[in-house]
Amino acid sequence: IRDHLEVVQKCAPKGVHVMVEKPLALNVEQAQQMAALARQHKVQLLTNYETSWYGSNQRIFRMVHEQRQLGDVKKINVYAGHQGPNVVVQEPEFLNWLTDPEQNGGGALMDFGCYGANLITWMMKGEKPESVTAVVQNLQLEEYPRVEDDATIVLRYPQAQGVIQASWNWPYNRKEMEVYCEKGAVFSLDAASMRLITPDHPESNRIPAPKVKAPFNDPFAYLEAVVRGRIKVQPTDLSALENNLTVMEILDAARRSAETGETVRVTYYQVKTD
């Protein structure tokens, strides 16, 4: 992640569009530098997440915001984690930088917390939280002596709350979202399946997610469509620069909260292009 800034520094002045793997940057300061370069040179700067291409997440957004089936959002829970990189990562070089705070910015908080910050910012249609509270732990200190392996982050909004659970300690790979609204709740279980609960149907109903059509099913197809002008990226979109600047602000606030043990009011930055 530390190298993302250098990539943009080299590509943007040449007019080369960039898509990075999540999260956008090592910290807010580097994210701001990257954003300024992208805007100055009028290039796209996008961020890829596995969950951006889930049919379940896309259907939830339509149900809540376009079809207005469930009323206003009240709470969003995002669970992102797996057994830990010591189990799932085979390449020593990858494992080394993933668990190095100088190269990756942290442990599970950065690696998986970014999924929740991204999805919640999207579901809140770009609204930024008033405050962030985070608790981190080292449950496998011998395995990960340099970084946290478990994080819980609470985002407070004027009329809603978001909770992110990010972990390297779970017995299976999990990237799920729960959205609780005034008239029901809808959950994404994986890319292709969902659950819906309403007052008329209090028992959980499993429903399929639609198959996502190109180019919204693949990061490379999406990047090509954006570069060729077939898609106009909206600021609240999952891959959008604006969304992911907010993600970085949330993650930085979460790190400060975890370090101090206090709730942090988020400081939002203005991107300068000069």
**Residue 197 included in any domain:** yes
Burial group, residue 3, by CB count within 10 angstroms (0-12, 13-18, 19+): exposed
Helix (H) or strand (E) holding 2: none
Kindly state the tokens that stand for 23: 């999260």
Please write the tens of the pLDDT for every residue from 103-123: 989 999 999 999 999 999 999
Strands 201-208 and 193-198: antiparallel
Kindly report the CATH number assigned to the domain that includes residue 23.
3.40.50.720
Please write the tens of the pLDDT for every residue from 21-72: 999 999 999 999 999 999 999 999 999 999 999 999 999 999 999 999 999 9
Task: Look at residue 114 in the predicted model and tell me its pLDDT.
Answer: 99
**Residue 54 included in any domain:** no
**Residue 64 included in any domain:** yes
Residue 114 and residue 193 in one domain:
yes
Query: What domain count does the chain have?
Result: 2
Burial group, residue 12, by CB count within 10 angstroms (0-12, 13-18, 19+): buried
Assess whether pLDDT exceeds 60 at residue 270: no
Q: How far apart are CA 45 and CA 34, in angstroms?
A: 8
Q: Where are the beta strands (DSSP E) in 30-81?
A: 45-48, 73-81
Please write the tens of the pLDDT for every residue from 168-206: 999 999 999 999 999 999 999 999 999 999 998 878 788
Q: How far apart are CA 157 and CA 161, in angstroms?
A: 6
Residue 146 and residue 258 in one domain:
no
235 in helix, strand or coil?
coil
Domain boundary among 164, 185, 208: 208
Residue 70 and residue 42 in one domain:
no
Task: Look at residue 269 in the predicted model and tell me its pLDDT.
Answer: 57
**Residue 152 included in any domain:** yes
pTM attached to this predicted model: 0.96
Residue 108 and residue 35 in one domain:
no
Task: Look at residue 250 in the predicted model and tell me its pLDDT.
Answer: 98
pLDDT confidence tier of residue 124, bands split at 50, 70 and 90: very high
Please write the tens of the pLDDT for every residue from 205-233: 889 998 999 999 999 999 999 999 999 99
**Residue 271 included in any domain:** no
Please write the tens of the pLDDT for every residue from 233-257: 999 999 999 999 999 999 999 999 9
Assess whether pLDDT exceeds 50 at residue 273: no
Task: Look at residue 272 in the predicted model and tell me its pLDDT.
Answer: 53
Strands 18-21 and 45-48: parallel
74 in helix, strand or coil?
strand
Q: Residues 265, 129: contact at Cβ < 8 Å?
A: no
**Residue 229 included in any domain:** yes
Residue 160 and residue 250 in one domain:
no
Q: Residues 225, 231: contact at Cβ < 8 Å?
A: yes
**Residue 23 included in any domain:** yes
Residue-averaged pLDDT of the chain = 95
**Residue 272 included in any domain:** no
Task: Look at residue 21 in the predicted model and tell me its pLDDT.
Answer: 98
Residue 106 and residue 34 in one domain:
no
Kindly state the tokens that stand for 15: 């007019």
Range of the domain at 250: 4-49+216-265
Q: Phi/psi zone of residue 158: left (φ > 0), alpha (ψ -120 to 50 degrees), beta?
A: alpha
Q: What is the largest CA-CA distance in the chain?
A: 57
Residue 26 and residue 140 in one domain:
no
Domain boundary among 208, 239, 256: 208
Residue 161 and residue 122 in one domain:
yes
Better pLDDT: 274 or 12: 12
Residue 78 and residue 170 in one domain:
yes
Residue 154 and residue 196 in one domain:
yes
Q: How far apart are CA 66 and CA 59, in angstroms?
A: 10
pLDDT confidence tier of residue 93, bands split at 50, 70 and 90: confident
Residue 104 and residue 175 in one domain:
yes
Task: Look at residue 87 in the predicted model and tell me its pLDDT.
Answer: 93
Kindly state the tokens that stand for 68: 């207005």
Residue 69 and residue 143 in one domain:
yes
